[in-house]
Amino acid sequence: MDGLTSAQVSGAKTNHVPRRSSRSLGAIIRANVFTLFNLVIGVLWALVLIFGAWQDGLFGLVIVANALIGIVQEFRAKRTLDKLAVINEAPVTVRRDGRDQEIPPHQVVLGDLILLGPGDRLLVDGEVVESDGLEIDESLLTGEADPVHKLPGDEVQSGSFAVAGSGAFVATKVGTDAYAVRLAEEASRFHLARSELRDGVTNFIKYITWLVIPIGTLLIYSQLRNSADFGTAITGAVAGIVTMIPEGLVLMTSIAFAVGVVRLGRRSCLVQELPAIEGLARVDVLCLDKTGTLTAGGMDLGEVLPLSDGPIHDALAALANVDHRPNATAKAIQSRYPAAADGWTAVDVVPFSSARKWSGADFGPHGVWLLGAPDVLLDATADGYERAAELASTGARVLALCRTDSLDSLASASVASAAGTEKAAAGTAEAVALVTLKQRIRPDAHETLQYFAKQGVTVKVISGDNPDAVAAIATGLEIPDGHRAIDARTLPADDPAKLAELLDTHTVFGRVTPQQKRAFVGALQSRGHTVAMTGDGVNDVLALKDADLGIAMGAGSPATKAVAQVVLLDDKFSSLPHVVGEGRRVLANIERVSNLFLTKTFYAIALSLLTGVLGLMFPFAPRHSTLVNALTIGIPAFVLALAPTLERAKPGFVPRVLRFAIPAGLLCAGAVFLAFWAAHSGTSTLIDDRTSATIALFLTTWWVLILITKPLTLGRIAMIGAMAGLFALALAIPFIRHFFALEPGDLSNDLTAVGISVVAAAGISVAVKVAGTLRP
């Protein structure tokens, strides 16, 4: 029981597990460089350099820009994640050279003696050598909800966590040999959880890739058939193919996620999975655990109210000091009773658990004493029951100190089911005193709850405490219907539909067990809600795991922080609005940017089909599309992707973008084709015709940018105006005009292009309004 010696530690195998919060720098570089887009654009770029003018190969710089920007942004996010992940790592208590010490998880070695207390997560496999009522929850591994009582000699596995009691085990498997790591090896590496946004973008790319092959083949054949100049034919075909590819869409999505991670990191928010940022934007129900979320960690001992004669203070002192790893309640009592009285030695103990809501010990000649929730330990007719309810209604936390003559089944009671309603088994518990604890309301709780009310996020307070106490705090914080608290023990256990209905119509719930918290999340999800769950204790783990978004408090147990997607490292409840706001910013802006990129794709597809079927030259060269795309998509996309917004994300991202991009793209294509055809029917040159088409392309896509950018702020108006000014300069300055092969000399053709663009812009406005896709 003295643990390893320093000499034994130095040569032992360490608990090295790849960090899952981010991928390696090499993996980041490979993911950003070796992409299908870069391959296609690289081949087209090489063709242009071989057969055409180098100015038409400017689009090749997109490969370099996309790769560099993507690598830099994700590396920034990686550094932020890695730093925060280290801060988030809960130390492990081990015994070495006979002395207890806390060490980082990666310093645990094979054979270490690891000490456990409530809330501790098991990072390695091992064999129990000491158990003081130790109960392990293995539900994350086995799905079995009931905690398992562990005795010396029993095996324990990584991925489980302690819920009650204390003990110690010897590490028998560490690092990648541990059960949880082998069971989910992918979870040890960087990975992305399911994301509607990312899936939508991936689907866009997949379908567009299949369209590019036949349409590109048709376009190449058309250009070769209609041009005596092979180089002109190749550059015309490349212009159409390159424009079809939304090369910056994946980049913008990655940047938005990465910047979101960095911004939240500056607020001490660890995002353990990047798509969790998307979940933040979709949340419409926020489930809060009262203790540790609405109230600050820790409590103060209030009054000790005797109900009968007896050694009340000695019993309280003994119960508070019986556990070597005291919980918050025991610590509050210890502040007044720092040590047990002489002779008060426990011969048997039942540690506190969230399921039982009481703890107890047999002190031999001094009898069996219990401390826990009055409405669990006492009958409604017992002395002190009504008094306890009155105290709870003021917002205080109330415990009953009880005594019983005998409790033969005390040891077996420690593995009682999670129903949370069983009484002390042998004999009736006699209330000896009531103990009040003062809870500390977070100073930022009221303001934060007001924010969620304004943003349309419904708050549900779910607590294991007395319903009256929870209602008093909820009412004080002005939570809607906070006074109508429901005792979770009265809720239907076998009627999910009824449970979901009650959850929809009520806000505050007390005496909720860990299993019920999990059921609450599932019931709310069954009603179509996107549910976020906050918590800090082991009783919140299962609900955090099942919620669409699990948010753990930084001061919470290691188990809660392990399963949550977001950890508020500074333990500030007021950080939540920033967390939700960042998610909304990311999703809303990616939708805006997707509208831009997909509009480009659809007008390129339509133009390629028109010119291919009709046998005309493509309306513009690659350098023209490079200029227009930079001014109406590339530069604005960077600005829009990082702009603030508070609108909650809605499902249906893919169809909503398509309802905008398809009509807008087709009308842009129609305007460009008509402008090109009108100019081509005269005596102008190909450069003159393409100049008219480029003017039409810029004006129509510039109008699309205006529609997407709404609501227009001064900053956005300045950006839109700057893009128009830069295009005007490109037409006016001879060097730039020559560089981009623009010849705006035929006034009639150019004015015709402007007129066609005005009509097309009006049509785009009507089409997107009818489709109802634009954000207000």
Q: What are the residue numbers of the active site?
A: 289
Question: How far, CA to CA in Å, does 566 sit from each of 86, 265, 271, 575, 580?
Answer: 14, 11, 5, 11, 11
Query: Number of helices (H) and strands (E), helices first, in the chain?
Result: 29, 21
**Six-digit token string for 463:** 């607590």
Residue whose token pair is 């001094």:
366
> At 269, is the secondary structure helix, strand, or coil?
strand
In whole angstroms, what is the distance from residue 168 CA to residue 74 CA? 40
| Burial category of 26 from C-beta neighbours within 10 Å (exposed 0-12, middle 13-18, buried 19 and up) | exposed
- What is the maximum alpha-carbon separation in the chain? 114
What's the helix, strand, coil split of the chain in %, to 5? 55, 15, 30
In whole angstroms, what is the distance from residue 600 CA to residue 665 CA? 6
A 10 A CB-CB count for 412 gives 11
In whole angstroms, what is the distance from residue 300 CA to residue 321 CA? 16
> At 628, is the secondary structure helix, strand, or coil?
helix
Residues recorded for the chain:
776
In whole angstroms, what is the distance from residue 373 CA to residue 465 CA? 8
Q: What's the number of CA atoms in the CB half-sphere (13 Å) around residue 644?
A: 6
| Burial category of 443 from C-beta neighbours within 10 Å (exposed 0-12, middle 13-18, buried 19 and up) | exposed
Contact 692, 675 (CB under 8 A): yes
What pairs with residue 533 in β-bridges?
Answer: 287, 550
**Six-digit token string for 101:** 């010490």
Our CA angle for 394, 541, 498, nearest 5°, is 70
Contact 539, 354 (CB under 8 A): yes
Helix axes 686-709, 653-680, angle to 10 degrees: 150
In whole angstroms, what is the distance from residue 403 CA to residue 423 CA? 12
| Burial category of 151 from C-beta neighbours within 10 Å (exposed 0-12, middle 13-18, buried 19 and up) | exposed
